[in-house]
Structure 1
């Protein structure tokens, strides 16, 4: 490399870096951005703890009961415990007299059983709990059956064991994958691609607004007197990319750290660390793909009111793979259509992380999609660079895309 080429390259890098630093200062270190980032972080952290709280309560739906037995009904204790387990609850049994049990019915005792164990009197404070009544009824019936078996010369213990294991073996035509479709994997996948969608839309909109602001204020004419259009666009994309990447890392940590601390995903086969790294990788690739389009096409318009004409089609281009990933990929992560679409650079940033979470992507597919995205980026650089170079200095009405590409 000649000295002239080296000097030119150093000058280009310096110009790109200068524009990037300006964008970081202007976009990240503003009071409004820092406040909004802090609020979103707090919302995510609180949301994870709330989710953990309600997830923890799901296992506590079964009621716990304390039942007192007198000496005459004490033999019901094993049947009460077994019936409670069969009905997905726990029963603590105490042996008390009726006089000792009655005052505690208003405190920590749910019921008192006395009299004949085959037809016991069930004493409660007001109304009997229906679940507890079902447990007691099942226990009394098991006791009566065991008594009858014993009188007939059978073994009551063997009978009780056989009775406890008796029942239908339920099978479902629904596969395990279908059953888990809306489980923890679905939650992690949706959070990951939602964060990705938020970051890509936010960063793309910032790039488009920045391009239009500089164009309408004529600042771009001053900037292009010292640097090339490609350097200005590259610096803007790099600076806003750094801002968005920091936001993605902060918000991802806001979700991952509380989930790890609370053990929300314990027991589930989810590679949370690998998923986060994959989201960051696809954010980089997706951001590069979409930011080039946002920056290049925004140069075609000359008024802030026309930004929607540029951003709306590009946002639609994001929402389509987002919803396909949310519904199509989660239901069939290894389907033929999903495998084909996930190789397209506009679809892969959303589909590949979801397929990874659901275990429906092979290593070669992931590498192939990354390779296709890396090959597509230089093509988009040429297209976006040409459009930006022709459109950024165009004044008056909106410039047609065909005219920009023709130059």
Structure 2
């Protein structure tokens, strides 16, 4: 007579054998290998897209040639070369407060400056206007005075684009010069003018209950990580859940299931298939995430090679912690286990693999509700009551709670409660699925309806 320990050991051994079989069969399939390679390539390319776009934008963004005609006389104590230096410093460089004060140098931007500036004092304005019209000159900027002696700027260009960034930059610089000119005529010193133009210190701090204070960058980084986690969890639930359902239906359709049930119990078959396919899916996800991280880290060297001169990727922009990454893994695994048990049960109820899509339709729709609500709530109202309530529904917890954690709108007890609810739900769904699976895998007649399923559960 076998002891309970021997029975448990034999059960674990059978599950382990099934796990290895499912994992090996899945990862050695040509479709799996090709899909994994495509995932890795897509992740690498997608992570490098910002740097590549920056490279092509820099190549297509040729110099903008601007001619300045000053008919306003001395403006803000500037004229001639000093006025040209002012425009060059503000348009091709930057200062601490965004305004160039007479006598103060601005740091020049790296590489070739975008604006090629010159002051023209001899060519008639009509000829310069014709040069703009003929495309020989990009911009003509004329300075003169109004009746009130205020400086006036006239901007001539052949470009009719509504998103003219050059115009925006020149307007900003012209506005600063106008303020400087008025300050000079009022007798203010350069230091007084600098203090007048200095922007106020304005910090935005988001304070959440039970957490520290976060800057806007940290909040945006948290939302970014929440989006990534939500997408990964949804992909795992749907894609790998379909693998489970399809695998069960395929074995049932090929009559392989009749052989398997003689070597292992339906419970062992169920969990062996779920864990084996889940491990294969997790392997694919690790490759996907790893390739994305490598691609992000390569943006620095890639930017240096392409000489884009752009801002390098900094991992500190993303508000992450060990706890956050651990919870991502926990919700990832628990979400897959919850849905895969139901996918397996539904796969056992169909006769052929081509019927799986229709059978899992309601379950897919249920998962999609939480997926969409995660984005809506995370971006619009992460602290809303409806979002909190929905995040405790076990079918929506993995995606919605992940978004709440990433946006710092959840307390520790809520996280613990959600994990507890998920674990209890997995046990209940596993019990229900095991009973359906035990009988459904050997049913080859008409697909049972809801009443028949309820009757099966009562047996």
**Paired residue for 1:98?**
none
Give per-residue Cα distances to partners, 1:141-195, cap 9 Å, x unaligned. 567546634xxxx3442553355348x99999x9999x88995444332222112
CA distance in 2, matches of 1:163, 1:191: 44
Give per-residue Cα distances to partners, 1:330-382, cap 9 Å, x unaligned. 32222222222212211111011111111111111111111111122221221
CA distance in 1, matches of 2:377, 2:255: 46
Question: More deviation in 80-89 or 11-20?
Answer: 80-89
**Paired residue for 2:193?**
160
**Paired residue for 2:139?**
128
CA distance in 2, matches of 1:67, 1:274: 57
Aligned positions of 1:178-257 closer than 5 A = 183-257=220-294
**Paired residue for 2:457?**
405
Q: Deviation of residue 69 (structure 1)?
A: 12
Q: Secondary structure at the match of 1:334?
A: coil
CA distance in 2, matches of 1:328, 1:14: 44
**Paired residue for 1:11?**
10
Query: Paired residue for 1:76, among 58, 83, 88?
Result: 83
Aligned positions of 1:309-348 closer than 5 A = 309-348=358-397
Q: Aligned Cα RMSD in Å?
A: 4.4
CA distance in 2, matches of 1:257, 1:316: 34
Q: Structure 1: where are the runs of 5+ without partners?
A: 94-106, 117-121
**Measured at CA, do residues 200 and 138 of structure 1 come closer, stay the same or move farther in structure 2, by a change above 3 Å?**
closer
**Paired residue for 2:74?**
none
**Measured at CA, do residues 341 and 180 of structure 1 come closer, stay the same or move farther in structure 2, by a change above 3 Å?**
farther
Q: Deviation of residue 112 (structure 1)?
A: 2.2
CA contact (8 A) 1:275 1:356 kept: yes
Question: More deviation in 64-73 or 322-331?
Answer: 64-73
Query: Paired residue for 1:359, among 408, 431, 435?
Result: 408
Give per-residue Cα distances to partners, 1:87-140, cap 9 Å, x unaligned. 96999x9xxxxxxxxxxxxx9982322669xxxxx9996242654764775576
TM-score of the two chains, using structure 2 as the length reference:
0.70
Q: Deviation of residue 15 (structure 1)?
A: 0.9
Q: Deviation of residue 255 (structure 1)?
A: 2.3
1:113 equivalent in alignment to 2:119: yes
TM-score of the two chains, using structure 1 as the length reference:
0.78
CA distance in 2, matches of 1:109, 1:304: 63
**Measured at CA, do residues 236 and 335 of structure 1 come closer, stay the same or move farther in structure 2, by a change above 3 Å?**
same
Q: Deviation of residue 230 (structure 1)?
A: 0.9
CA distance in 1, matches of 2:28, 2:359: 27
The structure whose residues are more often helix, as a share, is 1
Q: Secondary structure at the match of 1:343?
A: coil
**Measured at CA, do residues 45 and 142 of structure 1 come closer, stay the same or move farther in structure 2, by a change above 3 Å?**
same
**Paired residue for 1:379?**
428
CA contact (8 A) 1:330 1:355 kept: no
Q: Secondary structure at the match of 1:247?
A: helix
CA contact (8 A) 2:371 2:399 kept: yes
CA contact (8 A) 2:222 2:320 kept: no
Question: More deviation in 294-303 or 349-358?
Answer: 294-303
CA contact (8 A) 2:370 2:395 kept: yes
Q: Structure 2: where are the runs of 5+ without partners?
A: 71-77, 104-112, 123-127, 141-154, 156-166, 208-212, 300-311
Aligned residues between the structures: 382
Give per-residue Cα distances to partners, 1:291-347, cap 9 Å, x unaligned. 111112221222223212321111112111000101123322222222222122111
**Paired residue for 1:20?**
19
**Measured at CA, do residues 377 and 72 of structure 1 come closer, stay the same or move farther in structure 2, by a change above 3 Å?**
closer
